[in-house]
Structures are given as structure tokens and as C-alpha cells.
């Protein structure tokens, strides 16, 4: 039982990372109806910028982090304004393929600039593991979990309690009507992309020390984040966070008790089975047809 508890704890940091990545995806999907398949590459690019700032600037980690966040927001906003805006009323297929094309371009550009050799990014917190009821957790892992929950709550508060959040929810409900009501839809859609990519960027910065930073670092993380978002219903922030932790803990348990190489297989088998039974995910309200 103690071992089981430790495996659950061990799944928490990756759960937080999947949750953050899924949060970024869900925020963009909620406001624009576009699933950003390029989010992993965008997040990785901003982490590579963080690495460059750390390497060449000699600046503190916090400053590099801020630069990376600004870069992520810039990438998100730029892609929305130049490309995604043009296909906002196109079929889903076109939007998916466009973001996949972006994925290739960004990964390729990142590979050309930074190369494909893995790079080391420092952890946010160092220090020996803390012991709580004989279960061990490192301060860095605790930080990841705390940051995930805090960002999730902050995003929730913004969406539910502020005027900007109201505007975003109005756009999500019906963009045309929101526009008629005087909501500056363009501005908020761009903002959603900027913030969404930045949140995914946080996930990339947090995971980089563990998996090693290279241009395709987020490919596999991204797939788990998709699974988390689907589990959470793809429209729910709380669902994305819970989905992320479920996937993180679940895959750690699979690694511990079944096989380290079958995590993706079993989780996707579960996701496909779940979608078959409950197409709206665990926390989705209803299946809405945009047809």
C-alpha cells in the first residue's frame, strides 16, 4: 500500500504537466473552436528561447522565464493573427491540417536554429525530497503541482469572475452574437491564443529538466495532454486539470505494475473506449454538434 501511494505521488508532477498543457489547449478550444495541434512545438520553441537566455545572457532564471512567457504569447498571437484568423470559418479539417503544418514548420525552424541535441534546463527548485507520512516528494514536484492548481484556479477565476472572462465565454457561446453585443472578439481571440500557448509553455519549461530539451520534446507529452483534455471533456478547465492528473497518475501506475512501454497504448485504448461510451468525455456536459 505504501508503494502504491508512492507511485501515485510519483505520477503527480507529470500529471501537473499534462494538466497545464491541456489547460492551454482547452482555453484556445473553448474560445475559438480550434484544437491547436501545434501547441507542443510552440511551447518547446519558447523553452528553447528560455535556454538561450540562460546560456548567453547570464540572467536569472526568473527573468529568462518571463522572456520565454513573452515569446510564447508572441508566437500564439502571431499565429492567430496571421494564419488561424483566416480559417476560423473553414471546415474543422482545414484547421487541423493548418495547425499540423505549423507544427512541422515550428519544429523544423527550432531544429535548424537550436539543433536536435538534447539540452539541459535547470529545475525550478532543488533540494532533497520532503517526507509526508513516509511518502516522498521533491520540492520541485510539489512546485509543479502547486503551480498547476494555482494557474487552473486563476484561469477559472478570470473566466468566471472578470469582464474579460465574460467576453471570452460569450465568444465561446456564439461569436456572432458576442460581436453584436460589442465584444471586441478579435482582441479576445488573439488573447486566448497568447495565454493558451503561454500556459503550454509553462508545461514545457517544467518538463524540460526531466525529459531533456529538444525540438520534438513535447510530441509525446502533447499526446498525453490531448488524452487529458479529452478525458476532461475538451471544454472544461477543471476537467483538463483533473484529466491531466488522472492521466499522469494512471500512466505512472501502468509503468509500475504493467510495463514501462505500454503507457501510451493502454491510456489511448482507455480513451478510445471512453469516447465510445461517453463521446463528451468524463466532464463534458453534452455532445454539441456544430453542423
Partner 1 sequence: MSGIAPREPRVKNRLVVAHKPSDQVVALLTFGAVALCFPAFFGGDSYTMSIATEAVIYALITVTLNLLIGFGGQISLGQAGLVAVGGYAGALIGAHLGGFPFPLEVLAAGLATAVVGFFLGLPTGRLRGHYLAIATLGFGLIVPQVATNWSSLTGARDGLIVNAPQIGSITFGGPVSLYYATLAVAAVAVAALLAILQSSSGRAFAAVRDSEHAAAAMGVNVWRTKVTLFTTSAFFAGVAGDLFVHLEGIVSPDSFPFSLSLFFLAAVVVGGLASIWGSIAGGILLTIVGAKTSGSGGLEPVIIGGTVVLLLLLSPGGLAELPRRLLSGIRGLSLRELSLGRRRISFRGSIRKVRNRA
DSSP annotation of 129 reads P
Cα angle 244, 134, 18 (rounded to 5 degrees) comes to: 10
Half-sphere exposure of 128 (CA within 13 A, CB side): 1
Q: Residue 51, interface with partner 1 (CB under 8 A)?
A: no
Name the minimum Å distance from CB 101 to partner 1.
4
Place of cell 540562460: 54
Q: Binding string to partner 1 for residues 247 to 266, with x set by CB under 8 A, is what?
A: ------------x-xx-xx-
Nearer to partner 1 by Cβ, of 150 and 269: the residue is 269
Q: Residue 39, interface with partner 1 (CB under 8 A)?
A: no
Identify the residue among 87, 149, 158, 164 touching partner 1 (CB under 8 A): 87
Identify the residue among 18, 39, 193, 226 touching partner 1 (CB under 8 A): 226
d(CA 193, CA 180): 22
Identify the residue among 129, 238, 268, 282 touching partner 1 (CB under 8 A): 268
With beta carbons less than 8 A apart as the criterion, state whether 110 and 75 touch.
Answer: no
With beta carbons less than 8 A apart as the criterion, state whether 232 and 242 touch.
Answer: yes
Q: Residue 85, interface with partner 1 (CB under 8 A)?
A: yes
d(CA 164, CA 33): 18
Segment contacting partner 1 (CB under 8 A): 61-69, 111-119, 126-134, 188-196?
111-119
Indicate the helix (H) or strand (E) that contains 136: strand 135-137
Nearer to partner 1 by Cβ, of 97 and 166: the residue is 97
Identify the residue among 219, 238, 253, 256 touching partner 1 (CB under 8 A): 219
With beta carbons less than 8 A apart as the criterion, state whether 68 and 205 touch.
Answer: yes
- Burial string for 55-94 (b: 16+ CB within 10 Å, else e) reads eeeeeeeeebbebbbebbbebbbebbeeebeebeeeeeee
Q: Residue 104, interface with partner 1 (CB under 8 A)?
A: yes
- Burial string for 174-184 (b: 16+ CB within 10 Å, else e) reads ebeebeeeebe
Name the minimum Å distance from CB 174 to partner 1.
13
Q: Residue 286, interface with partner 1 (CB under 8 A)?
A: no
Identify the residue among 60, 90, 173, 187 touching partner 1 (CB under 8 A): 90
Segment contacting partner 1 (CB under 8 A): 5-13, 107-115, 144-152, 194-202?
107-115
Q: Residue 108, interface with partner 1 (CB under 8 A)?
A: yes
Helix %, strand %, coil % for the chain, to 5? Answer: 75, 5, 25
Q: Residue 91, interface with partner 1 (CB under 8 A)?
A: yes
Residues of the shown chain interacting with partner 1 in the complex, contacts defined by CB under 8 A:
29, 35, 37, 83, 85-87, 89-94, 96-98, 100-113, 115-116, 176, 215, 219, 223, 226-227, 230, 234, 259, 261-262, 264-265, 268-269, 271-272, 275-276, 279, 290-291
Amino acid at each position: 500500500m505504501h508503494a502504491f501511494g508512492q507511485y501515485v505521488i510519483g505520477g503527480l508532477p507529470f500529471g501537473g504537466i499534462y494538466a497545464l498543457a491541456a489547460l492551454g489547449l482547452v482555453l484556445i478550444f473553448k474560445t475559438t473552436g480550434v484544437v491547436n495541434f501545434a501547441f507542443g512545438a510552440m511551447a518547446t520553441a519558447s523553452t528553447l528561447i528560455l535556454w538561450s537566455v540562460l546560456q548567453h545572457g547570464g540572467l536569472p532564471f526568473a527573468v529568462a522565464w518571463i522572456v520565454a512567457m513573452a515569446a510564447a504569447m508572441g508566437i500564439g498571437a502571431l499565429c492567430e493573427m496571421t494564419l488561424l484568423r483566416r480559417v476560423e470559418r473553414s471546415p474543422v479539417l482545414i484547421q487541423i491540417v493548418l495547425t499540423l503544418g505549423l507544427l512541422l514548420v515550428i519544429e523544423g525552424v527550432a531544429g535548424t536554429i537550436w539543433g536536435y541535441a538534447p539540452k539541459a534546463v535547470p529545475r525550478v527548485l532543488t533540494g532533497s525530497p520532503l517526507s509526508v507520512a513516509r511518502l516522498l516528494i521533491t520540492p520541485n514536484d510539489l512546485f509543479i503541482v502547486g503551480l498547476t492548481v494555482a494557474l487552473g484556479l486563476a484561469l477559472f477565476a478570470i473566466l468566471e469572475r472578470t469582464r474579460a472572462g465574460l467576453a471570452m465565454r460569450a465568444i465561446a457561446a456564439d461569436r456572432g452574437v458576442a460581436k453584436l453585443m460589442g465584444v471586441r472578439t478579435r482582441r479576445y481571440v488573439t488573447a486566448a491564443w497568447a495565454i493558451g500557448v503561454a500556459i503550454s509553455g509553462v508545461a514545457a519549461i517544467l518538463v524540460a529538466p526531466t525529459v531533456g530539451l529538444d525540438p520534438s520534446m513535447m510530441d509525446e507529452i502533447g499526446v498525453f495532454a490531448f488524452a487529458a483534455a479529452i478525458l476532461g471533456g475538451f471544454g472544461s478547465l477543471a476537467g483538463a486539470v483533473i484529466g491531466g492528473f488522472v492521466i499522469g497518475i494512471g500512466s505512472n501506475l501502468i509503468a509500475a505494475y504493467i510495463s514501462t512501454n505500454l503507457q501510451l497504448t493502454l491510456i489511448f485504448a482507455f480513451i478510445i473506449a471512453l469516447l465510445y461510451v461517453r463521446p463528451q468525455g468524463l466532464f463534458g456536459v453534452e455532445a454539441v454538434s456544430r453542423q
